[in-house]
Amino acid sequence: MQPEPTPDPIQKELQKIADFFAFQKKLTKRMLIGLAVFIPAGIVAAVVWEHRFEKQFNTPVPTIMDRANWSEVDRAMREGDLQKAAEKGETMAAKMPGYPVGHEKLGMVYVTTGELKKAEEHFAEAYRLLPTVANRQNLEAIRKRIAEQK
């Protein structure tokens, strides 16, 4: 029996290089498969999150014309035409349900007309949309007034 020939150093180096490239090929293949799976999944996730974000926070920003219409509510209150103020305020609140100042103004209209339950609803919505000290105080005051009437 002949002893196995010892590989020469050049063949050893060539084998190391071949093993390295085989490993690189496997790694590249797995990375490309991962990218092929995760990029579309990431795009789908981004679209879903964007849709949720828009659905949750899609509150129109009041324009100059909308602010003018809320000014009409203020004007009607100053002139004592509470019916017109309430109607105009309800129309504007329906157009811009996420505008807390509008709900606060409408709450004031209903306090003035004596419709305290409606006032409470609008003050509560204003506080939910914008939890400030003033909105909380309005809500607490109207709830106290309702409790006193019972």
Rounded CA separation 109/116 (Å): 10
Domain boundaries defined on the chain: 10-58, 64-149
pLDDT in tens, 30-81: 999 988 988 888 888 888 888 777 666 665 555 666 666 788 888 898 999 9
Burial of 96 (0-12, 13-18, 19+ CB in 10 A): buried
Q: Which amino acid is at 22?
A: A
E strand or H helix at 125, and its extent? helix 116-129
Mean pLDDT of the chain: 85
pLDDT over threshold 70, residue 86: yes
- CB 147, CB 128: distance < 8 Å: no
Rounded CA separation 7/133 (Å): 84
Give the pLDDT band of residue 2 (cuts 50, 70, 90): low
* Residues 40-55: b if buried by 16+ CB within 10 A, e if exposed: eeeeeeeeeeeeeeee
CATH number of 64-149, picked from 1.25.40.10, 1.20.120.530, 1.10.260.40, 3.40.50.11810: 1.25.40.10
**For the chain, how far is it from start to end, CA to CA, in angstroms?**
112
Give the global pTM. Answer: 0.57
Give the pLDDT band of residue 5 (cuts 50, 70, 90): low
